[in-house]
Amino acid sequence: MSIVEDGGSRVSPGLTRAIGYALMALAAAAAIWNLAAPGATAALAAIVLTAAAIAIPAATPELFEVKGRWGGRGFNGLALLPPMFVAVSGVQVSLVDSLVPWIAAAAGAVAGVTIGLVQMSRPGIVGRGQLLLVQALAVGAFAFGATSVADARFDPSDGSAARTTVADKYVGHGRSTSYNLKLAPWGPVSDVRTVSVSSTTYDALNPGDPVCLTLHPGGLGLAWYVLADCQGQAPP
Query: Is-above-0.75 flag for pTM?
Result: yes
Pairing of strands 160-173, 210-216: antiparallel
Q: How many CB atoms lie within 10 A of CB 133?
A: 18
pLDDT tens track for 169-208? 999 887 788 889 999 999 999 999 999 888 999 999 999 9
pLDDT tens track for 34-79? 999 999 999 999 999 999 999 999 999 999 988 766 557 788 889 9
pLDDT tens track for 96-153? 999 999 999 999 999 999 999 999 888 888 888 889 999 999 999 999 999 999 999 9
Nearest Cα neighbor of 223 from 157, 167, 175, 168 is 157
Domains of the chain: 13-153 (no CATH), 160-228 (2.40.50)
DSSP output for 48-82? HHHHHHHHHHHHSGGGGEEE-TTS-EEE-GGGGHH
